[in-house]
Structure 1
Amino acid sequence: MALVAPVTIRKVTGDTATEKPDLLAVEEPLEIRLGFGPMHDRQQRSVSVTMRTPGHDQELAMGFLFTEGIVHKPDDIVSCRHCVQDEAKEGNVLRVELKPDVLVDWTRLERNTFTSSSCGLCGKATIEAVMAETAGPVESTLHLDAAVLHSLPDRVRDTQRAFAYTGGIHAAALFDADGRLLLVREDIGRHNALDKLIGAAFWQGWLPLHVHGVFLSGRIGVELVQKSWKAGIGLLGAVGAPSSLAVQMAQEAGITLAGFVRDDRFNLYTEPQRIRLPMPVEG
């Protein structure tokens, strides 16, 4: 399925209008279904419908299921593939088959959904809920030069094929201490882009990502910090600003949070010791 869709627009400049072709980021629903239970009593249940840009759907599903605490290791999953029986939803339904001995905590999934939708009501409760599902603060040994952070916006932008055509899609990039980009995933949704990235790392057995950082093309909401905490990410940087609750959660998680990473500047909100700053020049 395509990442972009052609359209004809009327482009207005001053008092002049001209018709021209353009490209838009594709947005379509993805339904994630779980197959679970013992072999003699297999069941199916829909667990999520998200609006996403098609591509890397399996990684999106695995990243979502991991960060929601449904699966914990790649071996929990038998298969992950698009359903072909429903022609009306061709390409937009993904079924994930779990091993018979994997027990699904449906109350956790419902609790997490409620928490993320109502996090503005009680930030403390949101953070405590995530703390209960993790092993404590991230134990990251990641340290990097400030120059690495400065270089990320342009280098990530250069890898964004869909953004180059549409200007309307987000990216999540995994990098190491030397600034090497190991994975980049794009999606019209910020959360989906990060789920795709974490899902890819999960499937390759890279978790926890204690010696890696993640760079995001948008702002940092609390849900993105939550997903990063679950994946053990040591540093989260973004072009945009973090929310107040995102900063609070990053502080509890021991994650270095850097916002406004652009134009050769950035702000550090938590755990600044992981960034090696240049020595000031004496006058």
Structure 2
Amino acid sequence: MSEDTRPLPPGVTRRPVVRYTREGHLAPSEPDTVAIEEPLDIRISGDTLAITMRTPGADRFLVTGFLFAEGLIHSAEDLGALAHCGRPGEEGYGNIVEVTPAPGLVIDLEKVGATKRGTLTTASCGVCGRRSVDDLMASCTPVPPGPALAASVLARATEHLRTLQPNFARTGGVHAAAALDERGEVLAAFEDVGRHNAVDKVVGALLLQHGLRSARASRPSTSRATVLVVSGRVSFEIIQKATVARVPVVASVSAASALAIDLAERAGLTLATFVRDGRFNLYTHPERVREG
């Protein structure tokens, strides 16, 4: 079976492309594999909370992680039901998710803020409307010191990520995020066109499959997530999501913004950047990393 007729995995599709060659010629049009980007309308009891542009797939994890990061839920027990609206085959099916809170729980949509509710949250946005580190830290509890992480585990963190990016290998057009335990074992990993969406999917999986709970939950968290690995630049919203999820170490293939570094310092997170080829740079809380 040729590459052109081979079934594609979820999250990618084909479009025609004309390539300009090194020899100075325009090659004939041929199919190319590209990432899918579609809107997801997140609704709470019928009201639109946000619309995010994402790669379809793992929507249950994406929505759960998004609600958790925004402080609207504190554990999996806060979710009553979460399902796509409509019927398979109908136009738009799969792009609307309806969330029903657990019995007795009222989700306050105003917590998200007027800048996000009912508006488009793009694939690079994340925490639109957040104005400062002080605003965020007022609603987040700093991450406790926790056990020391071996430097060798941290140095190999992004190697795990590369093996978990099949859609990036095909398209070059998606980000990835993964959660590792202190031994470097992968707990959850996802790809998405949006950096913050990939992280939300990982956090949602930690909630639904690994016992993650916020500091405000009635029962303590049982999640073993120690490192959040991301494929792109570390920005403010990535650190925000790691802080809420109580993941003490963030590792990135790329750089970090100044605001992300400031928030990581305040939140008690260890931030490692340019984690590649067995090396990394530590910007905050290096005491959490031990040689070995």
* Bigger share in helix: 1
Structure 2 CA distance for aligned equivalents of residues 224 and 232 of structure 1:
12
Q: Which residue of 1 aligns with 2:49?
A: 47
Contact 2:228–2:249 (Cα < 8 Å) also in 1: yes
Structure 2 CA distance for aligned equivalents of residues 100 and 28 of structure 1:
31
Please report the RMSD computed on the Cα atoms of aligned residues, expressed in angstroms. Answer: 2.1
Q: CA deviation at 1:112?
A: 7.9
Structure 1 unaligned residues grouped into runs of 5+: 36-43, 279-283
Question: Which residues of 2 match residues 21-170 of structure 1 at below 5 A?
Answer: 21-35=31-45, 44-84=46-86, 87-110=90-113, 113=116, 116-119=127-130, 126-134=132-140, 136-170=141-175
Structure 2 unaligned residues grouped into runs of 5+: 1-8, 118-125, 214-220
Contact 1:261–1:267 (Cα < 8 Å) also in 2: yes
Question: Which residues of 2 match residues 256-275 of structure 1 at below 5 A?
Answer: 256-275=270-289
Q: CA deviation at 1:211?
A: 5.2
Tell whether 2:240 aligns with 1:246: no
Instruction: Tell me the TM-score normalised to structure 2 length.
Output: 0.84
Structure 1 CA distance for aligned equivalents of residues 256 and 185 of structure 2:
24
Q: CA deviation at 1:4?
A: 0.3
Contact 2:50–2:116 (Cα < 8 Å) also in 1: no
* Bigger share in strand: 1
Contact 1:256–1:270 (Cα < 8 Å) also in 2: yes
Aligned-partner SS, 1:81: strand
Tell whether 2:207 aligns with 1:202: yes
Q: CA deviation at 1:185?
A: 0.8
Contact 2:264–2:284 (Cα < 8 Å) also in 1: yes
Contact 2:81–2:102 (Cα < 8 Å) also in 1: no
Aligned-partner SS, 1:269: strand
Counting aligned pairs with the same residue, the percent is 38
User: How many residues end up aligned between the 2 structures?
Assistant: 264
Q: CA deviation at 1:11?
A: 1.9
Q: CA deviation at 1:179?
A: 1.1
Which of 25, 29, 42 is residue 16 of structure 1 equivalent to? 25
Q: CA deviation at 1:23?
A: 0.4
Deviations 1:57-105 (A, max 9, x none): 0110010011111111212111111001693321100001112421222
Instruction: Tell me the TM-score normalised to structure 1 length.
Output: 0.87
